Amino acid sequence: MTVTAPPELRPVGSLDETRAGGRTRRKPASRLIPGGFVWILPGLIISVGLIYYSIVYSGYLSFFDWAGGRSRMIPVGFDNYVEALTNPVFWTAVRNTVIYFVAVFVVQVLGGVLFSAAMHSKILFANVYKVIIIIPVVVAPATLAPAHLQVWQTNGTFNQILESIGFGFLVQGWLGQSTTSLLVVTLVGCWGSIGFGFILYFAGMAQIDPEMLEAARIDGAGNLRILFSIVLPNLKPITISLAILNFITALKLFDNVWLITQGGPAHSSEFLGTMIYAETAGSSRNLGYAAALSVILMLIAVVTSVVIQSRSRERVANSEELPRV
Amino acid sequence: MTTHRHMAAAGLAVAAALVLAGCSGSSGGAGDAEAEPADSGEVTWWGWTPDTPVAERYIEEFNKEYPDIEITYKNFENVDYRTTITPALDSGEGPDVFDLSPAGGSPDLWGPYAIDLAPLAEETLGSDWQSKLGDGYVEQLTDSEGRFVSLPLGGMAAGFLWINQDILDEAGAEVPTDYDSWVATCEKVTAIGKTCFTMGAGGEDTFPTEMYHAIANSVDPDFFIEAATGQAAWDDPAGVETLQIIQDMKDDGIIATNALDGTQYPLANEEFMKGDAAMVQMGFWYTQYSGAESCKAAMEAAGVSDPTCFVQMPAAFPDVAGKGNGSAYFGEADYGLAINADSPNIGAAKTFVQWMTMSETGQQNVANALDLLPALQGVTPDWDTIELVDTEVQRPAIEQLISESAAAGQSRQWQTSETTLDMIVLAIQQILDPTIDKSVEDIAAEMQAGAEPTDIGLD
């Protein structure tokens, strides 16, 4: 039986160009457009209009000193970018972003894999544990922020626990110190991220061919060997995706930080997201400077994502070229 | 069939483009700034203050005189207001009346959306209308092009403390008047398990600048405004001494150890309203919580169920520098009401703003709410209609507070740029943060380097 694909599904440039009478006959341009294109056009216009127009407009705004509304827009060239790149708070925010990304990513991967492996084992009340692990993912940060504040403030739960177990010498103002405020924000981030890693890894592990695992067992591999030699390599695409998502999340981080420390004290827990918000919502707002920060943020996100993607592809290609032993 | 499909898709594309065009905003319909005050209509009013119950009382009184004008008030948090009002006004869908304060260059930022209210003020109060409003209020609410864009509803002052007299009585402590007595009072208060002086200096709020201003006034009454306007430097000896006093207040237990855990609202406000702290530094607006009913609402909002009100008293900021300067109050117009130039209801809006800000009845409501100092000169609270928690004790203190607040000779934030206010907050946070190892002199020098002086209010 021969299956013939409808014309609109055929690859462009292969069958559409036919020779007739020794001359190349081109089909009208409209026939070269994929069949469903016209149907996604409205959505495309909206997304391009709302997203890419906003990005371009932000780029335009970044060359002005502008408080918004009908206040005067004063052209300042690249001054906003220079101001951002020479502002120590900007570099504190970049440093915090990297620290947050690394810490949350590591905890998410380790926590996600461990919980997923545990849930694929036969344990009692597995569904209860799953719910407990996933709850932090689904609850809004604004809902949880008061609880986190209660835990970490000077007379909060954490210090009370330290006192009660004889570690009173460790009691301190976790939120109100430059050395610990970022730690609190990062711990809150870790706490909320494990569930998301768990969801992806749990689904990923379910996709691994049971015969492969069975073969490994027949060959004498133990649980740990199976985890590190079979399961984790098969989950590599998930790990790469988590790395990209985590980095973008760290770059855009705003809600938890604003609700818990507002980037303080003394900008010690500042992130790019909180800097941008402070510039747009503060009474001394400068939308041009905020736009410049947004453009820098976007460039970092795009470049980093491309680098992570291309590096991971190179490694996959290299590993495929390795001779099988 | 294909043609129909393409036409349908093109139609959808056009619809999408129209949606985008709709999203891009419009210039709005131009209102008639010359419209005469009207006796009927619908008016929307947006503001970050007053609280909704207070606004509802104002509106209720207004409707007794103007039953055919319907006022709809929408209250926002401070930050939400700033992020909402501009796009709303830009889109032409903004409120008819909106709050506009003198702080942070607001008259220039939002003034262009408002009509010039000088003609309305002159028509209502006569040719000497400026002298009938609070001292300096007109200048503070005039934009750089000379348009009077917001009619003041009232003024406020700061630079003093609010005391929970019940806690002081329980601790056997006195209201502090200088640095040493403040330390002694705090020792007694903390001994009964209460916080002595609560403040929230974390985050980006500029409330902590009021403590700096009050201490600076004790060191040198002229220093703060001079530094804000570039006539003195923040790292001058007076500035260094001010920061040193804050450092001492932390070390000597006056400032609570949790001061950087959060912002003044909610941290300090809730701690004081729950009855957990003996003192807090808040401005004149806090007077409203001396009321027998409003204090209950404030305590409930702070998380106290079935509250019993405590006796809340204003007290002068202690003369912490010990130079005999005391600590002068500072104040300005708190906010005014602006009328949206694009409003289709300018006539009714004028009636409402006129009544609220320039009629004796409207201003009497403002005075009786104990939230603001009335903008119209000569209006004072009608004590027969105000019920305090302990009238005998509180009324004389509040009357004195009103008198001294109205006479405040310094501006609160009007002459200080937001950048400078941010630098003051940053300096205070560095002083209070036990993990930052910088000298007071270095912190003062950083403050001076980052501050932006203004020339506002300079002749």
pLDDT at A142 (0 to 100): 87
Strands B277-280 and B195-198: parallel
Domain range spanning residue B264? 160-328+417-450
pLDDT for residue B296 is more than 50: yes
Partners of A160 on chain B (C-beta within 8 Å) are none
pLDDT at B2 (0 to 100): 53
For an interface test with B, give the residue of A38, A259, A280 to mutate (most B CBs within 10 A).
A38
pLDDT at A18 (0 to 100): 41
Please check whether residue A314 lies inside any domain of the structure: no
For B143, counting Cβ atoms within 10 Å of its Cβ (0-12 exposed, 13-18 middle, 19+ buried), the class is buried
Q: Given an 8 Å threshold on Cβ–Cβ distance, is B429 in contact with A265?
A: yes
Please check whether residue B229 lies inside any domain of the structure: yes
Q: Which of A42, A267, A283 sits opposite B103 (nearest CB)?
A: A283
Give mean pLDDT, residues A130-146. 90
pLDDT at B146 (0 to 100): 94
Nearest CA in chain A to B107: A71
Give mean pLDDT, residues B311-339. 96
CB B219 within 8 A of CB B323: yes
Same domain, B203 and B245: yes
Same domain, B365 and B441: no
Chain A closest-CA separation from residue B108 CA (Å): 7
Please check whether residue B189 lies inside any domain of the structure: yes
Please check whether residue B397 lies inside any domain of the structure: no
Chain B closest-CA separation from residue A21 CA (Å): 29
Report how far residue B277's alpha carbon sits from residue B164's, in angstroms, rounded to the nearest whole number: 7
pLDDT at A29 (0 to 100): 56
Give mean pLDDT, residues A284-293. 90
Same domain, B299 and B438: yes
Mean predicted lDDT score pLDDT of chain B: 91
Nearest CA in chain A to B2: A35
Query: Does B112 touch chain A if contact means CB atoms closer than 8 Å?
Result: yes
pLDDT at B93 (0 to 100): 83
Give mean pLDDT, residues A221-236. 90
Q: What is the CATH number of the domain that holds B354?
A: 3.40.190.10
pLDDT at B345 (0 to 100): 95
Residues of A with CB under 8 A from a CB of B: 38-39, 41-43, 45-46, 49-50, 53, 67-71, 149, 153-155, 172-173, 175-180, 261-267, 278, 280-285
Nearest CA in chain A to B23: A50
pLDDT for residue B203 is more than 50: yes
Residues 315-354 of B with CB under 8 A from A: none
pLDDT for residue B20 is more than 50: no
Domain range spanning residue A131? 88-281
CB B224 within 8 A of CB B210: no
Q: What is the CATH number of the domain that holds A168?
A: 1.10.3720.10
Q: How many residues does chain B have?
A: 459
Based on the structure, what is the number of domains in chain B? 2
Angle, helices A141-152 vs A157-164, to 10°: value is 40
Backbone phi and psi for residue B331, each to the nearest 5 degrees, phi listed first: -165, 175
pLDDT for residue A129 is more than 80: yes
Query: Does B243 touch chain A if contact means CB atoms closer than 8 Å?
Result: no
Please check whether residue A3 lies inside any domain of the structure: no
Q: Given an 8 Å threshold on Cβ–Cβ distance, is B83 in contact with A280?
A: yes
Give mean pLDDT, residues B128-133. 95
Q: Which of B9, B110, B417 sits opposite A69 (nearest CB)?
A: B110
Report how far residue A58's alpha carbon sits from residue A265's, in angstroms, rounded to the nearest whole number: 29
ipTM: 0.84
pLDDT at B3 (0 to 100): 58
Same domain, B130 and B169: no
**For A148-197, what is each residue's pLDDT tens digit?**
999 999 999 999 999 999 999 999 999 999 999 999 999 999 998 999 99
Please check whether residue A31 lies inside any domain of the structure: no
Q: Which of A67, A68, A176 sits opposite B433 (nearest CB)?
A: A176
Query: Does B1 touch chain A if contact means CB atoms closer than 8 Å?
Result: no
**For A29-78, what is each residue's pLDDT tens digit?**
556 666 778 888 888 888 888 888 889 999 999 999 998 877 889 999 99
Same domain, B314 and B349: no
Based on the structure, what is the number of domains in chain A? 1
Size of interface A-B (CB pairs under 8 A): 129
pLDDT at A26 (0 to 100): 55
pLDDT for residue A12 is more than 70: no
Nearest CA in chain A to B427: A266
Lowest-pLDDT range, A10-24, A100-114, B197-211, B343-357? A10-24
Mean predicted lDDT score pLDDT of chain A: 85
Please check whether residue A145 lies inside any domain of the structure: yes
Q: Which of A41, A176, A280 sits opposite B261 (nearest CB)?
A: A176
pLDDT at B281 (0 to 100): 98
pLDDT for residue A9 is more than 70: no
Please check whether residue A41 lies inside any domain of the structure: no
Q: Given an 8 Å threshold on Cβ–Cβ distance, is A41 in contact with B106?
A: no
Please check whether residue A57 lies inside any domain of the structure: no
Other Cβ atoms within 10 Å of A70 Cβ, number: 15
- Say how many Å lie between the first and final Cα of chain A, rounded: 41
pLDDT at B31 (0 to 100): 72
Q: Given an 8 Å threshold on Cβ–Cβ distance, is B426 in contact with A154?
A: no
Helix (H, G, I), strand (E, B) or coil at B41: strand
Q: Which DSSP string do the residues of A217-265 spell out, in sequence order?
A: HHTT--HHHHIIIIIHHHTHHHHHHHHHHHHHHHHH--HHHHHHTTT-S
Give mean pLDDT, residues B250-257. 96
Q: Which of B10, B16, B257 sits opposite A154 (nearest CB)?
A: B257
Partners of B430 on chain A (C-beta within 8 Å) are 265-266
Nearest to B179 by CA among B236, B252, B272, B240: B252
Give mean pLDDT, residues A274-295. 88
Same domain, B185 and B292: yes
Q: Given an 8 Å threshold on Cβ–Cβ distance, is A173 in contact with B258?
A: yes
Partners of B418 on chain A (C-beta within 8 Å) are 282-284
Query: Does B229 touch chain A if contact means CB atoms closer than 8 Å?
Result: no
Q: Given an 8 Å threshold on Cβ–Cβ distance, is B104 in contact with A262?
A: no
Contacts of A222 (CB under 8 A, 6+ apart): none
Chain A closest-CA separation from residue B110 CA (Å): 7
Report how far residue B321's alpha carbon sits from residue B182's, in angstroms, rounded to the nearest whole number: 12
Helix (H, G, I), strand (E, B) or coil at A5: coil
Query: Does B9 touch chain A if contact means CB atoms closer than 8 Å?
Result: yes
Q: Given an 8 Å threshold on Cβ–Cβ distance, is B429 in contact with A39?
A: no
Same domain, B128 and B209: no
Please check whether residue B219 lies inside any domain of the structure: yes
Q: Given an 8 Å threshold on Cβ–Cβ distance, is B426 in contact with A267?
A: yes
pLDDT at A281 (0 to 100): 77
Q: How confident is the model at residue A322 (pLDDT cuts 50, 70, 90)?
A: very low
Report how far residue B96's alpha carbon sits from residue B114's, in angstroms, rounded to the nearest whole number: 10
Residues 82-101 of B with CB under 8 A from A: 82-83, 86, 89-90
Q: Given an 8 Å threshold on Cβ–Cβ distance, is B261 in contact with A71?
A: no
pLDDT for residue B331 is more than 90: yes
Report how far residue B271's alpha carbon sits from residue B279's, in angstroms, rounded to the nearest whole number: 10
Residues 198-227 of B with CB under 8 A from A: 201-204
Same domain, B147 and B199: no
pLDDT at B259 (0 to 100): 96
Give mean pLDDT, residues B84-103. 90
CB A42 within 8 A of CB B15: yes
Q: Given an 8 Å threshold on Cβ–Cβ distance, is B433 in contact with A266?
A: yes
Q: Which of A41, A42, A177 sits opposite B434 (nearest CB)?
A: A177
pLDDT at A46 (0 to 100): 86
pLDDT at B79 (0 to 100): 73
Query: Does B254 touch chain A if contact means CB atoms closer than 8 Å?
Result: no
**For B49-79, what is each residue's pLDDT tens digit?**
898 888 999 999 999 999 999 999 999 987 7
Same domain, B134 and B171: no
Please check whether residue A78 lies inside any domain of the structure: no
pLDDT at A17 (0 to 100): 41
